[in-house]
Structure 1
Amino acid sequence: MYSLLLAIIYVAFVSLGLPDSLVGAGWPVMHQDLGVPVAFAGIITMIIAGGTIASSLASERVTRRFGAGLVTAVSVGMTAAALVGFSFSDSFWMLCLWAIPYGLGAGAVDAALNNYVALHYAARHMNWLHSFWGVGASISPFIMSYAITSGLGWSNAYLIVGTIQAALTFLLLVSLPLWGRVNSVIPDGHAAEPHEAHEAGPGPSGQGSTHVPLARALRIPGVALILTAFFAYCALESTSILWASTYLVTDRGVAPATAAAFASLFLLGITAGRFLAGFFADRIGDRLLIRGGFLSVGIGVVMLALPLETNVLALVGLVVAGLGSAPIYPAIIHSTPVNFGRRNSQAIIGIQMAAAYTGSTLAPPLFGAISTWTGMWILPLFLAVLTALGLLMSERLNRLVGHRAAQEGDRTSTTTR
């Protein structure tokens, strides 16, 4: 039963990654057909981001009421409807309209699925699941490319992905009974931590659990630290993806084709790194994965910045930064129930998703504005600041959690005596 549901969740993560690259891949053709400037892509992405942030913040209440399975199915259905709506859109305002359910569905399913996996499956699965998201995100540009080159047009690329999402919605609806049968004991040997056993809740769906208001969740010690760390990580990831190629060309004199290839290797490094991290994630733990990830990103950024005559080290540094980035996102999510208790995890993961989308949305244009004044050379420094901030905040959280565990251990010892 666990394995069957896990397989369905793996398929869900592949499908969730599919829509994320479609707008960027198709926009060079889409904006011409719609008769709007290239810059209007930012309006679409901002609407989607706004929807994801709003639904992420509301995910805790919705998931506790309806359950993770139903929320996932309905949310994927919303994205399917939005993608089909994109395929029939012949004006920009229609795209903006369909971007609303697109964003709302993406944020809700992201928070619900991540919390479910964090509660009920081992760390290796969290890494592999996010690696499968990268597979989906890598496939969608090929779907768009095929649709355009074969004469089907960009609209049919959205229709193809929308149809895949609709099929997944049906699969998720059929699988709903499986979600409710999983008990509150985490399989694969990932037992609940002692300090959270008393707050495990009634089961995986979260139905019937006590609602944790947003204000209360934000006041939990350490939440502000992990939100800052998550914001910093997602900011450096999205900034690297958008601006690394431009930096290599304009500041390092790398050929555009070479720069584009290595910039894509950053994203492929994240995908491959998460797959590899899954093999040892259970043995070394989330804390070391986060620490090692940030340190590896830091090494990669230093290699990128070194003013050497050859660009080989800078190109390798970009790949190292991608591999280092790989385990940070899944490890932060997976460690949430342990750091803050299972009862609070859905609320906090929802806020983390909002922080992630905020960082991914705001950081790239912020860097673009800064670079117009300073020059593109500042990219490694910008990334270094974000890396240091993420590492500092995560280490402060580790000390806080360790101190709290020691206090609880002392209280347990005193009670036993």
Structure 2
Amino acid sequence: MAAMATWFLIVIYLAFISLGLPDSLLGAAWPVMRPDLGAPLEAAGMLAMIVAGGTIVSSLASGRLIDKLGTGPITLISCLMTAAALLGFSFAPSLLWFALLAIPLGLGAGAVDAALNHYVATHYEAHHMSWLHCFWGVGATGGPLLISYFIKEHDSWRAGYTAVAIIQVALVTILLATLPLWKKVAAQRSMLRASSRPHHSDASVKGSNKFTAKTDREEDIRPSAQPMRLPGVKMSMLAFLFYCGVETLVGLWGASFLVGARGIPAETAAWWISLYYGGITIGRLITGFITLKVSNRILILVGPLISALGAVLLLLPLPGAITLAGFVLIGFGFAPVYPGLIHETPVRFGRANSAKLIGYQMAVAYTGTTFLPPLFGLLASQAGIGLFPVVSLLLIVLMLLCSEYVNRAIKRKYLIA
């Protein structure tokens, strides 16, 4: 039983690779795609907005779809949609076709994201969430590497999209072969959890703060009729908005900054952006182990500080190696933030409120992904791509301030109560 669940977890990780692969392609390829399509600089932001809009729609509908179809079929259908959209990108003759194909790409991404997060949170231990998002980073890192290779060796960004589409089809084949296991593993994990006493292996839940015990007695048992009015909830939403906005912004516009502001060749810029995603990936792999000893609250504080240091390095007129280190530091600092914020939701606001609030948080996160990078694209088209480090640093600081405000607000509540 345990062995099958462990092996099946690898299938879930592979599925999350398929979620990460498309996320980093557009930003890495855009410096060479743009002249080929005759598109303005800010058009990448428009395409990203369409993808993110589809993601919001499908994530909001994912609960009903999971209840009706199950997690396995939803994941399979979603990956098939993204594979078809990516293959279409490799042949799309104009920006209009890209905009149309961005719709199924976004719809597929949102459904698989929500479905897999829900499945892992329900049937596996909490530290697996960090590793799940680590495998998103594997896909996000591999995308720019493939684009860089095909631009350099074959002078073709289209071939890079074709290669990623083929990888997606291979993952779809694996998901199809394992489709009967989804319900079987879920049933076995539910029986195992029911026969065991509840326990928490993560430091983020086990004694992560002084008010955890009180939330166990109150919000864990009685859900709030108006969870949005709980202390710190709105600022928590803003933390998700700023984090996902800046994470996407760096991936989408980083290569354009390197090419336009630093004069770095497009294939080199794409490779450097892959190292940004590599920083996220390695960081989340490490975070999965660190959470066994260190609380999420500390990681969510230290991570953005590391990212802010990376953004400062991009601001300074330093050698190329230092600029590269700046991107890696930004990614490495981002690593614990999103999984940590998700994991802290039951601790901060009570388990009885967490399901609804996590859904709200993901919707707000996708809103940041939808609007902040395109808004920067408009700003860059008027004021120059050189503002990229300044805006990135500002969003990182705002995200950190919002998260720390939540901690103080909840601490005040339980000190007063």
Q: TM-score, normalised by structure 2?
A: 0.77
Task: Name stretches of at least 5 consecutive residues in structure 1 with no aligned partner.
Answer: 202-209, 411-417
Aligned partners of 1:78, 1:287: CA distance in 2, in Å? 33
Q: Structure 2 vs 1, CA of residues 403 and 60 (structure 1 numbering), >3 Å: closer, same or farther?
A: farther
- From 343, 352, 371, the equivalent of 1:362 is 371
Q: Give the alignment partner of residue 341 of structure 1, picking from 339, 350, 355.
A: 350
Which residue in the other structure is 1:124 paired with?
127
Aligned match of 2:242: 232
Is the contact between residue 70 and residue 173 of structure 1 (CA under 8 Å) also seen in structure 2?
no
Question: How far apart in 2 are the matches of 1:36 and 1:255?
Answer: 19
For residue 97 of structure 1, report the CA deviation from its aligned partner. 5.6
| 2:123–2:186 contact (8 Å) kept in structure 1 | no
The structural deviation recorded for 1:399 is 1.6
Show the counterpart of 1:18: 21
Query: Which of 298, 307, 312 does residue 302 from structure 1 map onto?
Result: 312
Q: Alpha carbons of 1:48 and 1:258: their partners in 2 closer, same or farther (altered >3 Å)?
A: closer
> Could you tell me which amino acid in structure 2 is paired with residue 356 of structure 1?
A
Cα distance change on mapping 1:273 and 1:83 into 2, 3 Å: same
SS in 2 for 1:55: helix
For the 8 Å contact 1:60–1:350, the answer to whether it is kept is no
1:180-218 deviation digits (Å, cap 9, x = unpaired): 3423666662578642477779xxxxxxxx9x99xx454
Q: Does 1:400 align with 2:409?
A: yes
Question: Which range moved further: 290-299 or 273-282?
Answer: 273-282
Matching of residue 267 in structure 1 with residue 270 in structure 2:
no
Q: Match of 2:181?
A: 174
Structure 2 letter corresponding to 1:353: M
Between 111-120 and 227-236, the greater mean CA deviation after superposition: 111-120
What is the distance in 2 between the residues matched to 1:88 and 1:258? 26
1:222-281 per-residue CA deviation (whole Å, 9 max, x = no partner) reads 222112111111222222223334434544566766655433322211111111222212
For residue 51 of structure 1, the aligned residue among 43, 51, 54 is: 54
Measured in 2, the distance between the counterparts of 1:383 and 1:27 equals 19
Deviation at 1:132, TM superposition (A): 1.1
Cα displacement (A) at 1:139: 3.3
Aligned equivalents of 1:235, 1:104: Cα separation in 2 = 18
Bigger mean CA offset, 37-46 vs 394-403 = 37-46
Instruction: Compute the TM-score of the two structures, normalised by the length of structure 1.
Output: 0.77
Instruction: Work out which of the residue numbers 286, 299, 304 in structure 2 matches 1:289.
Output: 299
Give the Cα separation in 2 of the matches to 1:231 and 1:288.
Answer: 20
* Higher mean displacement: 281-290 or 130-139: 130-139
Give the paired residue count: 392
Question: 1:106 maps to which residue?
Answer: 109
Q: Which runs of 5+ in 2 are unaligned?
A: 207-211
Contact 1:84 1:159 in 2 (8 A): no
| RMSD after superposition | 4.0
User: Distance in 2 between the 1:250 and 1:133 partners?
Assistant: 28
Displacement after TM superposition at 1:385 (Å)? 1.4
| In 1, Cα distance between equivalents of 2:393 and 2:126 | 27
**Would the aligned equivalents of 1:234 and 1:360 in 2 still touch at CA under 8 Å?**
yes
| Deviation string, structure 1 residues 74-129 (Cα, Å, up to 9, x no partner) | 14323314523664787677766664444233213312322443455445322222
Query: 1:332 matched to which residue of 2?
Result: 341
Corresponding letter in the other structure for 2:349: F
| Cα 1:377/1:105, change in 2 over 3 Å | closer
Matched, 1:383 2:392: yes
The answer as to 2:233 corresponding to 1:223 is yes
Alignment check: 8 A CA contact 1:337 1:345 kept: yes
Shift of the alpha carbon at 1:20?
3.2
Q: How has the CA–CA distance of structure 1 residues 235 and 406 changed in structure 2, closer, same or farther, with 3 Å as cutoff?
A: same
Contact preservation (8 Å) 2:15, 2:75? no
Aligned partner (choices 211, 232, 252) of residue 242 of structure 1: 252
> 1:71 is matched with which residue?
71
Q: How big is the shift at 1:61? A: 5.2
- d(CA) in 1 for partners of 2:98, 2:375: 25
Q: In 2, Cα distance between the equivalents of 1:292 and 1:244? A: 23
| Cα pair 1:82 1:102 within 8 Å, conserved | yes
- CA deviation profile, 1:360-403 (whole Å, cap 9, x unmatched): 23222222322344334432321221111111110011122333
CA distance in 2, matches of 1:292, 1:253: 32
Cα distance 1:41–1:169, how it changes in 2: closer, same or farther (>3 A)?
A: farther
Which range moves more in the overlay, 160-169 or 145-154? 145-154
Deviation at 1:130, TM superposition (A): 1.1
The alpha-carbon deviation at position 41 of structure 1 amounts to: 6.1
Q: Distance in 2 between matches of 1:14 and 1:259?
A: 22
8 Å contact kept, 1:289–1:331: yes
Correspondent of 1:6 among 4, 9, 26? 9
Residues 391/141 of structure 1: CA separation in 2 closer, same or farther (3 Å cut): closer
Q: Which residue of 1 aligns with 2:209?
A: none
Whether contact under 8 Å (1:125, 1:278) holds in the other structure is yes
Give identity over the alignment, percent.
Answer: 40
